[in-house]
Amino acid sequence: MQPKPVTGLNVLTSTLRILPDIGRILKGIYHLASAKADKYQSIGRMFETRAAQHPDQCFLRYEDTQYSYKQFNLWSNQICHYLASQGVKSGDVVALMMENRPETLACVLGITKLGAIVSMINTTQRDEVLLHSLTTVTPKMTIIGEECVAVYQDVADKINKTPEFKQFYMADGSTTPAPADFIDLDKALEDQPTHNPESSSQIQMKQTAYYIFTSGTTGLPKASILTHFRWIKAMGAFGLSAFRIRHNDVFYVCLPLYHNNALTVSWGSIVGAGATMVLARKFSASRFWDDCRRYDVTAFCYIGELCRYLLNQPEKSNDREHKVRVMGGNGLRPDIWMRFKQRFGVPQIMELYGASECNIAFVNSLNLDMTAGYCPMSFDIVKYDIEKDEAIRDAQGFLIPVEKGETGLLIAEVTERSPYEGYTNQKANQSKIMRDVFKDGDMYFNSGDLVQRQGYKHVAFVDRLGDTFRWKGENVATTEVEEVTNQFPQIDHSVVYGVQIPNSDGRAGMAAITLNTELNQFDVNSFSEHVKSKLPGYAVPLFLRIRQQQDITGTFKYKKGDLKKEGFNFETFNEPVFVLLPNQTQYQPLDKQTLSQLNLGAVQI
């Protein structure tokens, strides 16, 4: 099922349905309109306001523990005062490496109240990748959870430390003492003051609040800059205007706090409404709906892969027995959108689009099906040449917008209202900026994403530029192929990408698939017929790689970069590969002789 154009009737009927929530929507618009980069407002100040308004309201539930807004605010104040006494000041960077638990969020809040910057370290990183993340932003201090100490210590000696550098330890529900060279942060907080610090009201919205690292699917992670401005805009746009979170909502957060959807979208939505957060240590597909029932959850934030994991769980008679009224997030693919909605009975799916480094965002505030939603900011969708890997320019040297229903590159104008905050790496920043786009001197952010123009300022995500490939003179969108392969009943997950074949132009399609049955039960004949009947010839994958499980990042993204490098040479990864050779009607196991012929360019594809 493919996304459809948005019509005027869609917009009208959906607008009428949301009229009862107009007050909350207008409140969100007010926060958006009043957000100015130079204004003195901050995450910490927003939280202090909520704590004063609703001191006894439950802010956070974690397992069997809960904290009111007042309790959590006082705790974060202690962290703020203590770190200030240790020399942390506005603009300094503190690296934080802890799994999802209350201490993590309390540290984020305490550090940002100082005007300092939290570097959110991905807790799944190891060795050189971890060292890169710890050093790329030069932290003045680190706070390491007990659960992450061992992997941190593997690289700690290689960190460039200033004379003021300190390492703090946060116990994980145990009495294990802090390792040598660490300061026990819990103990240090015992005699700290609890009043709101003056610093939280001296922060301008344009100041950086934290760094979120890219997933690192195609290289070393880059640190994306997230300002107080972005967080407060997200609170208004997502939490109030789109999700329309209420004071009595219970919002489930199972994505890692180093992910933008958790720390910006979810947390901002919760604080904006004075609602309650239920924090899970990590995502569990088997426990997800049980948690929703246990805590009376009414809202949650997702990424697309999370939804697929839930859908792949065995069906239960109580799948629709929950109180969830809205789910918001990004990456819910068209092939599972309606199945998910019908099976679990969630009435509102607020899909959104907006990478950590992107200067605009789309949100499905009208609750339409299979759309990333609407954006009021200045953007366009332009023609793109996949083979040359560049946007197409006209005779005057300017880019060419696509028509409604067509697919192109999404670009967003960089303006005072939509500034580009980007990465800490200036070279990476320049590579994302396009100049002289529609007139001399204008400037646009290059999203690196292909989207479909649906009309009425709505778009549907199609593919990442680096994932779309060209074969037999045609562009192949991996998401469209994955939609078809995932429809086959014996397949749990599939990841599609392009691989190079010697003496062939372009890239041939390859699908890494995980089965929900044993390999000897896989009906290759039926699968061959399935893909050939559903896809044009050029889009049918030539290779299948059978995997026990897919490799994913800590933010649930598939590691396509590694798959592309390994190609179809099964001798390097020891997993079965099937190939659909010319004049064959079905996939056959790839053997050493055929592999050798392919590598020599002796097989005409």
Question: Strand pairing of 93-97 and 117-120?
Answer: parallel
The predicted structure's pLDDT at residue 215: 65
pLDDT exceeds cutoff 80 at 332? yes
pLDDT exceeds cutoff 90 at 472? no
- CB burial of 350-362 (b: ≥16 within 10 Å; e: otherwise) equals bbbbbbbbbbbbb
Looking at the structure, give the CATH architecture of the domain made up of residues 8-363: 3-Layer(aba) Sandwich (3.40)
The predicted structure's pLDDT at residue 26: 85
- Among the residue ranges 30-39, 223-232, 278-287, the one predicted with the least confidence is 30-39
- Among the residue ranges 40-49, 66-75, 293-302, 501-510, the one predicted with the least confidence is 501-510
The predicted structure's pLDDT at residue 33: 79
pLDDT exceeds cutoff 70 at 83? yes
> Where in the sequence of the chain do the CATH 3.40.50.12780 domains occur?
8-363
Q: How confident is the model at residue 216 (pLDDT cuts 50, 70, 90)?
A: low
Token pair recorded at residue 394: 């006209």
Check if the beta carbon of residue 31 is closer than 8 Å to that of residue 231: no
The predicted structure's pLDDT at residue 416: 82
Q: How confident is the model at residue 209 (pLDDT cuts 50, 70, 90)?
A: very high
Token pair recorded at residue 401: 């917008």
Burial (CB < 10 A; 0-12, 13-18, 19+), residue 41, is: buried
Query: Starting from the edge strand earliest in sequence, which strands make up the sheet with 588-589, in order?
Result: 491-499, 508-515, 543-547, 577-579, 588-589
CA distance 525 to 548: 21
Q: How confident is the model at residue 562 (pLDDT cuts 50, 70, 90)?
A: confident
- Among the residue ranges 174-178, 245-249, 298-302, 526-530, the one predicted with the least confidence is 174-178
The predicted structure's pLDDT at residue 34: 83
User: Average pLDDT in the 196-220 region?
Assistant: 88
User: Which option is the CATH number for 377-464: 2.20.25.190, 2.60.40.10, 1.10.1060.10, 2.30.38.10?
Assistant: 2.30.38.10
User: Average pLDDT in the 92-106 region?
Assistant: 98
> Where in the sequence of the chain do the CATH 3.30.300.30 domains occur?
470-599
- Nearest 5°: phi and psi at 339? -65, -40
The predicted structure's pLDDT at residue 231: 95
CA-nearest of 535, 381, 384, 393 to 454 is 381
Those residues with Cβ within 8 angstroms of residue 578's Cβ, 6 or more apart along the chain or in another chain = 524, 543, 544, 546, 587, 588, 589, 590
Q: How confident is the model at residue 421 (pLDDT cuts 50, 70, 90)?
A: confident
Those residues with Cβ within 8 angstroms of residue 375's Cβ, 6 or more apart along the chain or in another chain = 360, 361, 362, 363, 457, 459
CA distance 295 to 278: 7
Check if the beta carbon of residue 308 is closer than 8 Å to that of residue 336: yes
The predicted structure's pLDDT at residue 219: 64
Give, in degrees to the nearest 5, the angle at Cα 25 between 227 and 376: 60
User: Average pLDDT in the 106-114 region?
Assistant: 99
> Which position has the higher pLDDT, 476 or 356?
476
The whole-model pTM stands at: 0.85
User: Average pLDDT in the 215-224 region?
Assistant: 72
pLDDT exceeds cutoff 70 at 502? yes
Q: What is the CATH number of domain 470-599?
A: 3.30.300.30
pLDDT exceeds cutoff 60 at 411? yes
> Mind giving me the DSSP string for 316-332?
-TTTT-S---EEEEE--
Mean pLDDT for the chain overall: 93
The predicted structure's pLDDT at residue 58: 99
The predicted structure's pLDDT at residue 469: 86
The predicted structure's pLDDT at residue 10: 95
CA distance 263 to 267: 5
CA-nearest of 589, 552, 545 to 567 is 545
The predicted structure's pLDDT at residue 202: 98
User: What percent of the chain has pLDDT above 90?
Assistant: 73
pLDDT exceeds cutoff 90 at 13? yes
Check if the beta carbon of residue 292 is closer than 8 Å to that of residue 323: yes
Q: How many CB atoms neighbour CB 598 within 10 A?
A: 24
> Where in the sequence of the chain do the CATH 2.30.38.10 domains occur?
377-464
CA distance 164 to 184: 17
User: Average pLDDT in the 113-129 region?
Assistant: 94
CA-nearest of 474, 486, 501 to 568 is 501
pLDDT exceeds cutoff 90 at 359? no
Check if the beta carbon of residue 570 is closer than 8 Å to that of residue 510: no
pLDDT exceeds cutoff 70 at 567? yes
Token pair recorded at residue 182: 């660490």
Name the strand (E) or helix (H) holding 409.
strand 407-413
CA distance 158 to 153: 10
